[in-house]
């Protein structure tokens, strides 16, 4: 008698999808690609209700990073493990070090568009 919620998030820039990096070299390449540019964070969400109804949707948010040099990327890596995050970053974990500005849902960039999920549950 519970509602099941599943979600996954990816980062996209140009026509490239950035999942979780395999190693620190790939993580550095990802942050370098995002440096000084705007990218899209997309979270897909699916809710399965106790009565069998299924409601799936996606949420897009634009994120722009400041220009990042090796020193900024090193400082970020010193505080955050980038290997378990799409695009090699977690906005909630020292995102200020990336100089990020967000156009849209902050919660979506964290991995779950809470406002939209709550509206579906209402």
Structure tokens given for 31: 């942050």
Q: Is 14 a catalytic residue?
A: no
SS3 76: helix
Gap between the Cα atoms of 31 and 95, Å rounded: 12
Residues 6+ apart with CB under 8 A from 122: none
Determine the angle formed by the axes of helices 24-34 and 70-79, rounding to 10 degrees.
130
Task: From the candidates 8, 23, 74, 84, give the one annotated as an active-site residue.
Answer: 8
Helix ranges, 1-122 (H): 24-34, 70-79, 106-110, 114-121
Provide the annotated active-site residues: 8
């Amino acid at each position: 008698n519970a509602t099941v919620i599943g979600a996954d998030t990816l980062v996209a820039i140009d026509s490239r999808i950035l999942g979780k990096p395999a190693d620190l070299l790939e993580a550095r390449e990802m942050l370098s690609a995002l440096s000084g540019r705007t990218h899209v964070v997309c979270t897909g969400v699916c809710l399965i209700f106790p009565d069998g109804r299924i409601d799936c949707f996606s949420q897009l948010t634009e994120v722009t990073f400041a220009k990042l040099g090796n020193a900024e990327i090193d400082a970020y890596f010193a505080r955050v493990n980038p290997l378990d995050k799409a695009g090699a970053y977690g906005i909630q974990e020292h995102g200020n070090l990336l100089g990020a500005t967000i156009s849209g849902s902050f919660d979506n960039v964290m991995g779950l568009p809470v406002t939209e999920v709550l509206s579906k549950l209402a």
